[in-house]
Chains A and B, each alone.
Chain A
Amino acid sequence: MIKNISNLGDAAVYCDFGSEVNEKINLNVINYFNSLSKLVEERKINGINNITPSYNKLIISFDLSVTNYTEIKKIILNLNVNKDFTNNYKKIKIPICCDDEFGLDFDRLSNKTKLSKEEILELYLNKEYFCYMTGFIAGMPFLGDINKDIRCDRLETPRVKVPKGSVGITEQFSNIYTFESPGGWNVIGNTPKKVFDQLNLEEPVLIKPGNKVSFYQISKEEYLNWNE
């Protein structure tokens, strides 16, 4: 449940669900997000501009010329939270090529974890991940939790350009760079799959908060011939 509600500036409500990062807390955030989004879609509340779920926070920004902090807070306190959103259980499989030209940081990872590339990949690919949130850049999923034995800090010096499609890991999380972007996560491979597609107006984002994601390895030939 929400532990504390406060204002973030004069045009946003900040809902704090706690400080830990785990699936249970995050699902709670996502359920609030989905329930509130439904009311916005059905035009039952006015003035809400954006609702941003993250690991353990929910931020609701609104138009100060239409509503205010007190009104939105009241809506959240009285929200009937539905816990059964089918989208939460969507499962997605992502192809990944881990050849050396794509898996940029295996040397570093092996050094830190004392595991070989093959061992790291086995532990990584053998798990289904939970999408905690999507964002920072369009469509980037934050997935977790990866096996304890392959966890590693960010690069000491972040890359200026991480190639589009790169799959990265750091701490207990994994992500996919949907655009070429600066970044400091350890890159273990690259996916040819469109994780964000701005031309797909109905469904631009493949992986949404609450979805389950698993990865399977493909060869470079399959990578190059990938066709969606």
Chain B
Amino acid sequence: MSNTYFEILRPGINTTIQDNGRNHMYHLGISVSGAIDQRNYKLSNKLVNNDLNEAVIEFAYQGPLLKLKNGKINFSITGDVLFKIIRQNSKIEDGVCYKNYILEDEDQIDITSTKKTVYGYLSVNGGFELEKVWNSYSTNTKANIGSNNGKKYSIEDKIFIKNSNLQISKETKINYNDLSDNIIRVIKGTNFNYFSNEAQNIFFKKEFSVTKLADRMGIRLSGHNLENIVNTNIKSEGLVRGTIQVPADGNPIIMLSDHGTIGGYPKIAVVISADLDRVGQLTPGSTVNFKEVSLEEAQNIFKAYTDDTNKYLNECN
């Protein structure tokens, strides 16, 4: 076992280990978890020459302050993130995302905050010394499953880093072009016709606000109450990431990676796969518009999303 680790001097608001998620457990009530922003998660791994499915540190808003002990590593941070590297000689460097860095023994990474998004990712070359639970490293804080006993990190915790040969001397970077806007594309949900004509119009034409009730489970919106003319409850049934449910108060809720596996509110729409990363990054106080697309369009948009991701990944080769 390696003796190289990050000592957590400040844990940040919600710092957990994530990967591509834990599948085949919904029927037991265990949600998928995994990085909210899958593209940025993969890019951070690629920048340090890791397997794309390696475990990473995900942080939200204010990130952790980490001190490297007993080693020398290569790391990268992705997302829209403000961070500093504090060298052991007290020299402070401003960090740049989408680029890899060498961190020497006793150096610190201070992740001040994310900027216009919620989540950012930190990868180290070789990955962390962790064990998979049900085929995933992801921390599920709702059911206390996965890395760090299913809990978010606290002060003085240690995150051990696998021994790596540190072959990367080459600097890698990605010219990441975040062209995100506030339009989220959706496919009509299975209960779309539970809503009045007016509500259906409002849903696609008006702007909604992201409330403070937003976390890894889901995002509550406000702004327009969507009138239900059939029934404000359905017999509880399965949910998937991106489902938009509307409870009796008429305010939509978007399900994210830690959502409850079943729910009893009508489903007005489902966010398309290509827009899940962006929807998860919406910050409280920002606004969002929904645009309807067909299944075929969604599939084509997903192909374009995958091509874009691959284009970024190839920049590191």
Taken together as a complex, chains A and B put the C-alpha atoms of A10 and B293 apart, in Å, by 10
The answer to whether B260 and A33 have CB atoms under 8 Å apart is no
Contact indicator A64/B302 (Cβ below 8 Å): yes
Binding-face segment, B28-36, B110-118, B174-182: B28-36
* Segment 258-293 of B: residues with Cβ below 8 Å from A: 260-263, 267, 270-273
Quick check: is A147 within 8 A (CB to CB) of the other chain? no
For A52, the closest partner residue in chain B by CB is B238
Question: What would 18 A/B residue contacts be, using CB atoms closer than 8 Å?
Answer: A6-B190, A9-B298, A10-B187, A12-B270, A37-B27, A50-B25, A52-B27, A53-B238, A54-B238, A56-B235, A58-B238, A61-B241, A64-B273, A134-B27, A139-B29, A179-B142, A198-B133, A205-B29
A137 and B143 in contact (CB under 8 A), knowing A10-B299, A57-B238? yes
The answer to whether B133 and A137 have CB atoms under 8 Å apart is no
Q: Which of A7, A57, A137 touches B237 (beta carbons < 8 Å)?
A: A57
A37 to B26 CA separation, bound complex (whole angstroms): 12
Asked if B236 is at the interface (CB within 8 A of a chain A CB), the reply is yes
A50 near B26 with CB under 8 A, answer yes
Contact of B262 among A8, A52, A198 (CB under 8 A): A52
| Residue B144 CB within 8 A of the other chain | yes
Determine if A142 is an interface residue (Cβ-Cβ < 8 Å). yes
Interface band, chain B: 35 or more
Enumerate the 9 nearest inter-chain pairs by beta-carbon distance, A residue then B residue, closest first.
A9-B270, A52-B238, A59-B238, A10-B298, A135-B29, A138-B143, A50-B26, A135-B261, A57-B237
A65 proximal to B (CB < 8 A):
yes
In the complex, what residues of A have CB within 8 A of residue B295's CB?
7, 10, 69
B187 neighbours in A (Cβ, 8 Å):
7, 9-10
- On chain A, which size bracket covers the interface? 35 or more
CB distance from B77 to the nearest CB of A (A): 25
Contact A134-B267, Cβ < 8 Å, known A10-B298, A10-B302, A52-B262: no
CB contacts under 8 Å to A, within B185-222, are 186-187, 189-190
Q: Are B236 and A55 in contact (CB under 8 A)?
A: yes
Measured CB to CB, the closest approach of chain B to A105, in angstroms, equals 20
- For residue A40, CB closer than 8 A to chain B, the reply is yes
- Are B270's CB and A8's CB within 8 A? yes
- In the complex formed, the residue of B with least CB distance to A51 is B27
Counting CB contacts under 8 A, is B247 at the interface?
no
Contact B260 A137 (CB under 8 A): yes
Known: A51-B27, A54-B235, A198-B143. 10 other contacts (CB 8 A): A8-B270, A9-B189, A9-B270, A9-B272, A10-B272, A52-B238, A54-B237, A133-B236, A134-B27, A135-B262
Question: With the chains together, A12 CA to B186 CA distance in Å?
Answer: 13
Chain A CB within 8 A of B150 CB: yes
Complex: A123 Cα to B295 Cα, angstroms: 49
Give CA–CA (A198, B25) in the complex, Å. Answer: 12
